Amino acid sequence: MFVIRREPHNPILAPRRERPWEGMATYNPSVVRTESGVHLFYRALGSPDMLQMQTVGLSTIGTAFAEDGIHFHSRQQVIAPQESWDLFGCEDPRVSFFEGRWYCFYTALGGYPFGPNNIKVALAIGDAPDNFTERHLVTPFNAKAATLFPERINGDVVMLLTAHTDWTKDHPRPTIALARAKQVVDFFNPEYWREWHDHLADHALSKMCRGDGDHVEVGASPLLTEKGWLLIYSYIQNYYDEQKRTFSIEAALLDRNDPQKMISRTESILVPQEFYEQYGLVPNIVFPTSATIGDDGRLEIWYGAADTVCAKANVKLHDLMRALDPEQPARTFIRAPQNPILTPQGGGFESKDVFNAAAIDLNGSVYILYRAMDAANTSTIGLAISEDGITINERLPMPVYMPRADFESKRGSPTGNSGCEDPRIVRIGDMLHMTYTAYDGVHLPSGAVSSISVEDFLARRFEKWSTPYLLTPDGVDDKDLTFLPEKIDGNYLLYHRVSNQICADFLQDVTAGKRANRCIEIMAPRHGMWDEVKVGSAAPPIKVGANWLMIYHGVSRHATYRLGAALLDSSGVTVLARTADPVFEPLEKYEKEGEVSNVVFSCGIVIRDDSVFLYYGAADKVIGVATASLAHILDALT
């Protein structure tokens, strides 16, 4: 698991209208770290020229410097159009300090209107970061985003580039590929490229696009790690559909000796969310162009935002590399070998399915309250007890909670879904409060609550459950209810899912008639990421120091249910950190195949010392448990 954190000073570079050459935009940064500080090169978009291109500005390349990598100064223009092949603009630099010289690859615009025939890769070379004295056209064909590997590989100079980024009938999809040579000057030879292009497929990184409508482009110069070359690149979903197009950033791990071989990669780890990413000359763009290792050992991702400003984000490198390690398929949580720990049984209340379990640790035993479904698809709440958190020592033969109110009694088809679903339970003082989804088979599902004293629960006086009542408004799709297990300023904090986002509201008490009437937004789906369709609370948050650990579920556009983690502040309503990747996902057969495929859905966690026990429903059929280190989770989130 890993967390992407945006630089609080973002945007770190913005246009200055008093300088016409960078008056419209300053974006797509390329960064080189030196002992004295950080050199940043960027695409500078000038104001339109009424005598040349009245509707678009001219792109040149600027540079700036910052001792701390945040507060940039000494801005100046270093590369401007001068050759026939870059006369209409110099875009998107990728700069490397390689074998004693400065190399700046850039996109050269040789004509207007811009198109595949006049967009190519060029290179400027110099002995200082502000003095490029040579210039060469590199590719004779349409290409962008070329960059050098920072050191030779098996004696070769290796370049990474994106060929055919702009659609043509002959080349409808872009290709990220490698080019190898004995010397950099070999890349200036058109004959080299004719031979290379004739065998383009032999040089390509395979399977970069997950769908025919997607688009990829080289982002940053690769970084060498202990596990291989780390590549940060641009992934654009639905590129050819302007209404659905989604820009994102991904990471891949390439083999150290053969970087054409991909070891693993992430899904999208950063998408437009902040105002400077969503609003600008071209809205909703995050475009990675550089990656460096900061003084604190974190990976810094430098990117252009909304084609207007430069921005920066960081991630703990060891967390990202662990997520890319193919030997760590289980993500953060490790499944118990005994899984599934609960399966349907008998011919009664739990004969069809058992899933989506709440859990609470009382007097040294873990009480697992789970959704049980019978042959008529009526849901009740069963109870199993475990001393070690994994082995089931006792399983009660009858439900401990059954539908009692009209709003959860079956009204539709005799075999339609109804009852008490997906319980969550918290202890506040001497009372246990169980929230659950109440469904009558006709109306929209609602959120309900019933309470019982700890004493009565442990004594198994389950007839003492209080009369249930609704917590959510009528006629609203509102589920996934849970309380924060501690009052805030004397009020109960209720989490609930309205439509596709996690909301919260404060309730003075938990008596009949008190319903949520606000949606304080806690967390929303992230368009283009693994949780882009819907998010909802999973287990009740767990106190960690002064803050709260929340496990939540997210649904992808492919209808896969996975789990993420977030750290909330002491108020329970402010997200301090949220994982960019899922911490748990369906991998095993019993998680992929069942009533609903590809589902892991948790309603309860228990913490014992450093171990986090996660109880989850698998494919809406059985129940499993997985464990993780609390210290590891908090290290990533803090």
Read off the pLDDT of residues 187-200 as tens digits, 9 standing for 90 and up: 999 999 999 999 99
pLDDT band per the 50, 70, 90 thresholds, residue 207: confident
How much is the average pLDDT of 387-398?
98
User: Can you tell me the mean pLDDT for 566-575?
Assistant: 97
Dihedral sign (CA 21, 15, 297, 269)? negative
The average pLDDT across 212-234 equals: 96
- Please tell me the predicted confidence (pLDDT) of residue 206: 84
Res 61 pLDDT > 90: yes
Q: Where are the domains of the chain?
A: 5-324, 334-637
Residue 51: per-residue pLDDT: 62
Residues 326-337 pLDDT 10s:
887 667 999 999
Residue-wise pLDDT tens digits, 157-182: 999 999 999 999 999 999 999 999 99
For residues 259-297, one letter each, b for 16 or more C-beta atoms within 10 angstroms of the residue's C-beta and e for the rest, the string is bbebbbbbbbbbbbeeebbeebeeebbbbbbbbbeeeee
Q: Tell me if the bond preceding 11 is cis, omega within 30° of 0.
A: yes
Class of the domain covering 5-324: mainly beta
For residue 96, which of 74, 126, 119, 66 has the smallest C-alpha distance? 126
pLDDT band at 580 (very low <50, low <70, confident <90, very high): very high
pLDDT for the residue 391:
98
Q: Residue 151: pLDDT above 80? A: yes
Q: Any idea what DSSP says for residue 191?
A: H
Q: State the Cα–Cα distance between residues 480 and 533, nearest whole angstrom.
A: 15
Q: What digits encode the pLDDT tens for the residues 66-125?
A: 999 999 999 999 999 999 999 999 999 999 999 999 999 999 999 988 999 999 999 999
Average pLDDT over residues 387-411: 97
| pLDDT score of 52 | 61
Residue 75 is given by DSSP the state: E
Contact 292, 221 (CB under 8 A): no
pLDDT of residue 329: 67
Class of domain 334-637: mainly beta
Give the residue-averaged pLDDT of 559-578. Answer: 97
Segment 468-485, tens digit of pLDDT: 999 999 989 899 999 999
What pLDDT is recorded for position 385?
98
Give strand ranges (E) for 474-631: 478-483, 492-498, 501-507, 520-523, 534-537, 542-544, 547-555, 561-568, 575-578, 600-608, 611-618, 622-629
User: Are the C-beta atoms of 501 and 523 separated by less than 8 Å?
Assistant: yes
Whether pLDDT at 54 is above 60: no
Distance (Å, whole) CA 196 – CA 203: 8
CA gap 516, 495 in Å, rounded: 9
Predicted local confidence at residue 469, as pLDDT: 94
Model pLDDT, residue 55: 59
pLDDT at 47: 80
Instruction: Tell me the average pLDDT across 354-374.
Output: 98
Q: At 57, is the pLDDT very low, low, confident or very high (cuts 50, 70, 90)?
A: confident
Average pLDDT, the chain: 95
CB atoms within 10 A of CB 571: 13
Are 5-324 and 334-637 equal in CATH topology? Answer: yes
Residue 512 has pLDDT above 80, yes or no: no
Burial class (CB in 10 A: 0-12, 13-18, 19+), 4: buried
Q: Are 92 and 42 in contact (CB under 8 A)?
A: no
Residue 328 carries which side chain, given as an amino acid letter? Q
Average pLDDT over residues 422-430: 97
For residue 366, the model assigns a pLDDT of 98
Q: Above pLDDT 70, what percent of the chain?
A: 98
Residue 133 sits at φ, ψ, to 5 deg, of: -105, -15
**Contact (Cβ atoms closer than 8 angstroms) between residue 388 and residue 349:** no
Instruction: Determine the pLDDT at residue 53.
Output: 59
For range 241-261, the mean pLDDT = 96
